[in-house]
Amino acid sequence: MFGLFKKDPVKKLEKEYQVLMAKAMEIQRSGDLKHYARLIEESETIQMKIQELKNGK
Does residue 29 sit within a domain? yes
Question: How many domains, in total, are found in the chain?
Answer: 1
CA distance 36 to 26: 9
What are the pLDDT digits (tens) for 13-51?
A: 999 999 999 999 999 999 999 999 999 999 999 999 999
Which pLDDT score is estimated for 32?
Answer: 95
CA–CA distance, 54 with 7 (Å, rounded to integer): 15
Whether 6 shows a pLDDT value over 90: the answer reads no
List the domain range (segments joined by +) for residue 49.
Answer: 7-56
Whole-number Cα distances in Å, 47 to 3, 28, 30, 42: 25, 19, 24, 9
For residue 57, pLDDT beyond 70: no
> How confident is the model at residue 45, as a pLDDT?
97
Q: Is residue 27 part of a domain?
A: yes
Flag whether 33 is in a domain.
yes
